[in-house]
Each structure stands twice: as C-alpha cells, then as structure tokens.
C-alpha cells in the first residue's frame, strides 16, 4: 500500500520542512500544498510542494495521507471541516504541539473509526523563526516524533505504518505516548522553557529598555536563554489555551523553586540546589530500540 500522494495543510516551518525532507529522502509521490497564495508560492519555489491548492477541501482530494501542519486551533477546526469528507482509506494526521483536545475533536468526528482514520502526532522540532523561508530538510534529524494513539490503535499497521516508516526515513525517532501524558511532558520540556525565555526577555526589556545592547554584553548564556523568546505568539497562543492547566502547574512549581533560591542565596541550600540541578546532565540517554 504505497503512499502516492500527500497533502500538507500549512506550509510554514514544519510543513515546509516536512515536504523538503520527504523529497530529500526520495519520496516519489506528489506533495500537495495548502496555505495562503504567497506561502504556497514560496513553498513551491523552494521545492517543498509539487502543487498548490488554496482550499483544504480541494487540496485533500486523491491523497493517501493528509497532514495538518497549522497552529493547534486551526488543526482542531480542520479536523471538523475536512475530516467528515475524507475517504475511509485516507489517513489524517497532524503535527500539533498539544494532543488531548486534538484527539477529542478527532473522536467526535470519526467516532469508533478514529483509530483507523486519524493518527495524532507531534514532532519535537522547530526553530525560533517561523515560515517556509526557514524550512530545513534536516530539521527532523534526530528529533523525537511523538504519536498519541487512541485506545487499541495499532499505529504500525496499514497507511499509518507506512507513514511512520517515512517519518523514520527523514531521521526522526518515533515513539508512542498517551495524549494526557504527552501534554504534561511537553508542558515541562517544551512549553515551560518557552515561557521562561519569554519572561526573561520581557523583563530585561522592562529593566533596561528596548535599545540596550544586552545580548552583546551578556554573551552566550544570555543569547541561548533568550533565543526562543522571538518565537511567534500566533503559534504559542493556541498551545497555551489547549494546555493551560499543565503549563500553569509547571510555572507554579518553578515559581516555588525560584522563591526558594531567592530566599537562600547566602545559605548552604544554594549549593544543594546546584548539586540537584547537575543530576539532569548525568541522566543517561534512552537506549535506542
């Protein structure tokens, strides 16, 4: 059951990079792009898509796999608008950064057939820049690509299995995780770092003004900690809304830790905190299966 045609709805950084990666690794089928006219023109000029179709309902016709690569809110809306009209043999998947609400929408649309019609996914890859102009065929090399199946879903069978093979061909490491656990994990390892970077950068601007050359003065540490503060709000708005409770919990625990540091700058507790932090780098990497 070869994949002959793929539609990517959303041809920005992730969607564009996915198209480029598939082509780099010799995908022989057709890749249809669906986005605004300007974005699709740039995606086609870069070679990320073969054909541009503006309307999602038209863009998905004839495709074996449809990939929703827009912000999470739009993904949820698209599942509702194009999902009911897709042929039963077409696999619908997504790259959204949160999964619980995405899966809930898919279940409401596909009902008991959701496990055969929809595969929820999330590549842990990206840049602080957005848009197809920054798309990179090697973006997914070595990156984790999480899938969050519904109960009883075999993600390695049928069209889903072939899609996973392509995800591994482009260099990603695939893994399966429960949707609720995924959202909690990502709140800690992805969403919290973004909020820290955003808060630090905004506080520095408040403290020193928006014309102070702080990055040059601060050096590498400051540049690394504030690099992702330039990430677009348009993407993070939907993530914050759909994973609000988990992000709030993570922020609250970090606030408590920061308060503990503030109150113990001149005690031995500070040394204990440094030693505790050093354990993170000592944790061995997961063994490859």
Query: Bigger pLDDT: 209 or 265?
Result: 265
Render pLDDT for 8-37 as a digit per residue (tens, 0 to 9): 999 999 999 999 999 999 999 999 999 999
How many other C-beta atoms can be found within 10 angstroms of the C-beta atom of residue 120?
Answer: 27
Q: In degrees, to the nearest 5, what angle opens at C-alpha 42 toward C-alphas 121 and 135?
A: 45
Both tokens of 36, joined, read 């605004």
- What's the mean pLDDT in 162-174? 96
Residue 41 sits at φ, ψ, to 5 deg, of -60, -45
Instruction: Give the pLDDT of residue 145.
Output: 97
Instruction: Give the pLDDT of residue 130.
Output: 81
Residue 289 confidence (pLDDT) above 60 = no
Residue 234 confidence (pLDDT) above 90 = no
Average pLDDT, the chain: 94
Contact predicate 147/119, CB 8 Å: yes
Instruction: Give the pLDDT of residue 1.
Output: 59
Instruction: Give the pLDDT of residue 271.
Output: 97
Residue 93 confidence (pLDDT) above 70 = yes
- What's the mean pLDDT in 219-230? 91
The b/e string for 37-52 (b: 16+ C-beta within 10 A; e otherwise) is eebbebbbebebbbeb
Listed range (135-139, 202-206, 248-252, 284-288) with the worst mean pLDDT: 284-288
Render pLDDT for 45-82 as a digit per residue (tens, 0 to 9): 999 999 999 999 999 999 999 999 999 999 999 999 99
Residue 88 confidence (pLDDT) above 80 = yes
Instruction: Give the pLDDT of residue 286.
Output: 65
């Amino acid at each position: 059951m070869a994949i002959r045609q793929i539609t990517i709805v959303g041809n920005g950084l992730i969607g564009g990079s996915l198209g480029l990666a598939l082509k780099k690794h010799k995908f022989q089928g057709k890749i249809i792009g669906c986005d605004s006219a300007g974005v699709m023109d740039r995606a086609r000029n870069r070679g990320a898509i073969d054909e541009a179709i503006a309307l999602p309902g038209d863009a998905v016709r004839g495709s074996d796999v449809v990939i929703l690569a827009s912000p999470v809110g739009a993904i949820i809306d698209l599942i509702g608008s194009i999902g009911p009209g897709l042929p039963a043999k077409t696999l619908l998947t997504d790259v959204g950064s949160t999964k619980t609400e995405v899966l809930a929408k898919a279940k409401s649309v596909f009902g008991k057939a959701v496990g055969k019609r929809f595969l929820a996914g999330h590549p842990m890859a990206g840049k602080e820049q957005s848009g197809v102009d920054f798309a990179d065929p090697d973006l997914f090399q070595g990156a984790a690509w999480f899938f969050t199946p519904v109960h009883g879903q075999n993600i390695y069978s049928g069209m889903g299995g072939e899609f996973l093979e392509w995800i591994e061909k482009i260099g990603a490491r695939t893994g399966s995780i429960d949707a609720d656990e995924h959202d909690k994990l990502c709140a800690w390892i992805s969403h919290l770092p973004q909020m820290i970077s955003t808060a630090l950068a905004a506080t520095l601007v408040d403290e020193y003004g928006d014309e102070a050359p702080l990055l040059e003065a601060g050096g590498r540490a400051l540049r690394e900690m504030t690099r992702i503060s330039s990430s677009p709000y348009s993407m993070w708005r939907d993530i914050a809304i759909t994973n609000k409770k988990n992000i709030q919990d993570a922020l609250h625990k970090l606030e408590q830790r920061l308060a503990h540091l503030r109150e113990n700058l001149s005690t031995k507790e500070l040394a204990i905190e440094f030693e505790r932090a050093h354990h993170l780098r000592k944790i061995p990497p997961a063994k490859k299966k």
